[in-house]
A = this chain, B = another copy of it.
Amino acid sequence: MHVLIIGAAGMLGRKLSEGLVSDGKIGDRAIKRLTLADAIAPKVPHGFTGDAACVTVDLTAPDAAASLLHAKPDVIFHLAAIVSGEAEVDFEKGYAVNLDGTRALFEEIRLAQKDGPWKPRLVFASSIAVFGGDMPDVIGDDYFHTPETSYGTQKAICELLLADYSRRGIFDGIAIRLPTVCVRPGAPNKAASGFFSGIIREPLAGLPAILPVSDDVRHWMASPRATVAFLIHAAEIDLSLMKNRRCITMPGTSVTVKEQIDALVRVAGTKLADLIERKRDPAIELIVSGWARGFNPQRAESLGFKADKEFDDIVRIHIQDELGGKLPNLG
């Protein structure tokens, strides 16, 4: 089968590419061809023995979608997006990439069907940012979407489009609302959510981290490993079980910052907690106060999506997958 990943050079795109190459298949079909696309040049993971192609393309450019779909891939993972902060600052870019880029992709699939039958599986990375405003502590599967960011609005709109295109038989779509991925590897970034990863990642590298909110802030998280497993599972399952409700909140772990730090200490030792400096930032506190704290993701669980067991595991996964199992030597 031919798999296309759009957004393949991003954090999740790279991990998904590696995961697919290491599995070698999706469900029981071998991956014979892999096309990796991104605005930044993607890289084919080591060890892939099939046909691989890397495409550097801006999804918002005219004909970008057509060029990507020309070979009619069987499975499409659509991960390309402008993140929340940037979509809030740059209105036009956010709508152009996150909405119009996605719609161009969907439209191109619809138009390509004039050449003959083709109904790819399309897995779309949505986000819990589709929720906003006053929310219960535990959000059920039928709770409404009232995003309070343009990014969340764009994700919610793409979900609606995906469901309509799927209902009409244009493609076989599923939108999975990813929790905040934690621990996000790499350098600290400016995302308002960055500290959820920073307070684990930096101490584990022997570096100081700043905590800009109170210890009792609660949020919904999943490890990169669990998140990649969600994406792959979404490409495998029988979507007829979802009927026309193709958009679904992923399981996760609901933890407070205090519970995160306690897990860090349990897994890696007390000294690491000393590297976390508390320095409240009202701007970040305000943004974070509008985020979901927890879900009851029954539908996803009944479809076989599985979260990390506890936050301790999320810390261990980071140590295993990013640090080669090594803890810092703090003397």
Contact = CB atoms under 8 A, between A and B. Distances in A.
B144 A167 contact: no
Contact of A164 (B153, B245, B247): B153
Q: How many copies does the complex hold?
A: 2
A194 to B, nearest CB: 23
A26 interface: no
Given A150-B168, A160-B157, A243-B133, A145 B145 contact: yes
Contacts of A167: 148
Contacts of A132: 244
A156 interface: yes
Interface string A164-184: 100110000000000000000
A59 interface: no
Given A132-B244, A245-B133, A153 B145 contact: no
Contacts of A110: 91
A123 interface: no
Interface string A135-153: 0000001111111101001
A152 to B, nearest CB: 9
A210 interface: no
A163 B142 contact: no
A147 B160 contact: yes
Contacts of A91: 110, 168
A105 interface: no
A133 B164 CA distance: 13
Contacts of A145: 144-145, 160
